[in-house]
Structures are given as structure tokens and as C-alpha cells.
């Protein structure tokens, strides 16, 4: 057996698992991104009903940045947990 064929036979299952787990993670992240987009739209819809002075005060005090940080933290948490779950799931499956 040639060295290249042997290396390919050894690395192919590992590469397949990595690509499969990344694909599952990307699907979860894209779905969660749509959910976060809907949450942002809901926040904007609810905040547009505020009187202009209250909205300006909220934005002046950093409310917009705070909402961005909170939604970003949720996105990072879901991304990391989906990657961890996918890697644990594909590590257990026989390849």
C-alpha cells in the first residue's frame, strides 16, 4: 500500500466527522441567528411605541448597546454549546 493511500485512509473518517459536526453547528447557528433577528425586530417594534423623550433617554444611557451585548452573549452561548454537543455526538458514533 502506498503511503498517500494509507494516510488518506487514516484521515478520511476524522475529516468527515469534523465537516459533519461543523455542518450541524452551522445549521444551528443560522437558525438561532434568525431567532435573534426576530427578537431584535420585536424589541424595535416595542420601543417604537415609547414617547420620543423616553426613547432618547434610553438610547443615551446605552440601552441599545446593552441590548446588543445581551443578544450577542446569547448567540455566543448557543454557538459554543451547539459545537460542543455536535462534537460529543459525533465522537460517540462509530465511524
**DSSP H or E segment with residue 3:** helix 3-47
Distance of CA 65 to the CA centre of its chain: 19
Structural domains of the chain, count: 1
Residue 22 belongs to what domain range? 3-92
The listed range with the strongest mean pLDDT (31-40, 52-61, 69-78) is: 52-61
Proportion of the chain above pLDDT 90, given as a percent: 12
pLDDT for res 60: 94
Q: Which of 8-12, 21-25, 29-33, 62-66 comes out lowest in average pLDDT?
A: 21-25
pLDDT band at 37 (very low <50, low <70, confident <90, very high): confident
Mean pLDDT of the chain: 77
Amino acid at each position: 500500500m502506498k503511503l498517500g493511500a494509507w494516510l488518506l485512509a487514516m484521515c478520511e473518517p476524522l475529516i468527515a466527522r469534523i465537516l459533519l459536526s461543523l455542518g450541524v453547528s452551522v445549521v444551528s447557528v443560522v437558525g438561532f441567528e434568525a431567532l435573534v433577528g426576530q427578537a431584535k425586530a420585536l424589541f424595535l417594534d416595542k420601543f417604537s411605541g415609547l414617547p420620543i423623550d423616553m426613547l432618547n433617554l434610553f438610547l443615551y444611557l446605552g440601552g441599545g448597546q446593552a441590548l446588543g451585548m445581551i443578544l450577542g452573549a446569547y448567540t455566543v452561548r448557543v454557538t459554543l454549546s451547539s459545537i460542543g454537543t455536535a462534537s460529543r455526538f459525533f465522537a460517540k458514533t462509530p465511524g
